[in-house]
Amino acid sequence: MIAPSILSADFANLARETAAIEGADWVHVDVMDNHFVPNLTLGLPVVQSLLQATDIPLDCHLMITDPGRWAPPYAEAGAYNVTFHAEATDDPVAVARDIHAAGGKAGLAVKPNTPIEPYLEILRNFDTLLVMSVEPGFGGQSFIAHVLDKARTVRRLVDAGELRLVVEIDGGINMDTIEQSAEAGVDCFVAGSAVYGAADRAATVEALRRKAIG
């Protein structure tokens, strides 16, 4: 799956920018609060408007403190997948439960230097694991390859039938880095600058998909 990140899109034309990625599997929406990360983007009102503007499922990536309070309303609004950070809460399972109760899929995100081992036991409560391959906060950064070990670990558990979730990667994904991520067992690729920095966004989505399939 390819999930273009609108962080690199024109925020004044989001309806047009989502129409430009026809064929994408998810629209990745980066919510930042200037507390969990040193950047501020958009929130629930923009997501509510986006839901009216596109039929592509929204994959909301919450880079915020207090996800217990803020994550469930995104699911209630109609976001398909609501992902929050493991580092931002003491009780990720409770947050996942509240997202599910609100009708959404729940994702757990981990920063590049956060180990996955402490979370393996609770991953069965999630539909998605988001492995960050850059420090969260900004688009256009370079891919950090060592995070692929986490994707490999979780892929093995999925293949062994011990877990059922989407392994998603976010940060620095482009035509050069998508292949090694696919080989590590990633099934959903977020791409911001690679898609929105291209003249033909839909063609770039297809090119990335072809490269991932190999």
The annotated binding site for substrate is made up of 5, 61, 137-140, 170-172, 192-193
Q: What is the DSSP string of 10-62?
A: -GGGHHHHHHTTTT-S-EEEEEEBSSSSS-B---HHHHHHHHHH--SPEEEEE
CB of 90 to ligand DX5, least distance (A): 22
Q: Hey, is 204 helix, strand or coil?
A: helix
Of 138 and 157, nearer to Zn ion (C-beta) is 138
Please check whether residue 123 is in contact with residue 108, taking contact to mean a CB–CB distance below 8 angstroms: yes
Supply angle C-alpha 205, 208, 212, rounded to 5: 140
Give the Å distances, CA to CA, from 148 to 88, 128, 130, 184: 22, 16, 11, 6
Based on the shown chain and the rule CB under 6 A, indicate whether residue 170 belongs to the binding site for ligand DX5. Answer: yes
Q: Count CB-CB contacts under 10 A for residue 117.
A: 8
Based on the shown chain and the rule CB under 6 A, indicate whether residue 134 belongs to the binding site for ligand DX5. Answer: yes
- Per the annotation, the verdict on 90 as an active-site residue is no
Output DSSP code: residue 170: E
**x/- track of binding to Zn ion for residues 1-40 (CB under 5 A):** -----------------------------x----------
Euclidean distance between CA atoms 36 and 38, whole angstroms: 7
CB of 130 to Zn ion, least distance (A): 7
Which span (1-9, 19-27, 79-87, 98-106) binds ligand DX5, by CB under 6 A? 1-9
Q: Which does 172 bind (CB under 5 to 8 A by kind): Zn ion, ligand DX5, none?
A: ligand DX5
Q: Which does 141 bind (CB under 5 to 8 A by kind): ligand DX5, Zn ion, none?
A: ligand DX5
Contacts of 171 (CB under 8 A, 6+ apart): 112, 132, 133, 134, 135, 136, 141, 143, 144, 190
Position among 8, 83, 177, 181 found at the interface with ligand DX5 (CB under 6 A): 8
Based on the shown chain and the rule CB under 6 A, indicate whether residue 107 belongs to the binding site for ligand DX5. Answer: no
Of 5 and 153, nearer to ligand DX5 (C-beta) is 5
Residue with the CB atom nearest ligand DX5 in the bound state: 192
Residues that bind ligand DX5 (CB under 6 A): 5, 7-8, 28, 30, 61, 134, 136-141, 170-173, 190-194
Catalytic residues: 30, 170
